[in-house]
Amino acid sequence: MPTALVTGASAGLGRTLAAALVGRKWTVIGDARDAAALASAAQQDGFTAIPGDVTDPAHRAALADACPALDLLVNNASSLGVTPLPPLARYPLADLEDVYRVNVFAPLALTQLLRPAVVINVSSDAAVEAYEGWGGYGSAKAALDHLTAVLGAENPDRSVYAVDPGDLRTAMHQRAFPGEDISDRPLPATAVPAFLRLLDERPPSGRYRAADLLVTA
């Protein structure tokens, strides 16, 4: 039975993807900072909850102890950063460092520690498009994209993917647009088949858009 570690598994895309993997008879280790929400997500048999912060080395060590033989790492945990989204010229640098710790350093640290056969780093269109106010989050995701590309080049025996799931109806997306109605965004479940397709077909390492994977499926 294959084993996956999904970070940020208490809600949104992480929770939905973890449930889909359990439905495929994977053993899933899920982490998130919200212990109560993570416990609620881990009601299925095969889903083990280990709450904590991926930026904490001790927590990462606990995750490694829980899955000594790992087939899939999904680096889904992300930090949007300061809200309302500030321009880069006024972005508090201490907060920007926190964004990079969650979105860049923690995924790399887990990849180094666990060395799974497949790594999926959840990216964003903000990594490749210059949106006003998205400089902190977007530049961190751009760094994650490049990190993913280099890891793929350096490890040709492994599958290393960056996946842009598109705009989804999640709590983090709502925080980016306070007071706005985001009910027109699709639910996270709509993107999950794209991730499963990567696992089924194992295309070359690289950056993929969920929308493209779904269209050509």
User: Which sequence positions are flagged as catalytic?
Assistant: 137
CA atoms of 91 and 137, how far apart (whole Å):
11
CA atoms of 16 and 134, how far apart (whole Å):
25
Determine which helix (DSSP H) or strand (DSSP E) holds 162, and give its type and residue range: strand 159-164
Cis peptide leading into 51, omega within 30 of 0? Answer: no
DSSP 3-state assignment of 74? strand
How many other CB atoms sit within 10 Å of the CB of residue 92?
A: 12
Burial of 46 from C-beta contacts in 10 A (0-12 / 13-18 / 19+): middle
CA atoms of 137 and 99, how far apart (whole Å):
7
What's the chain's length in residues? 217
Nearest to 3 by CA among 38, 39, 50: 50
Strand order in the sheet with 3-7: 47-49, 27-31, 3-7, 72-75, 118-122, 159-164, 206-209
Q: Pull the structure tokens for residue 180.
A: 């706005």
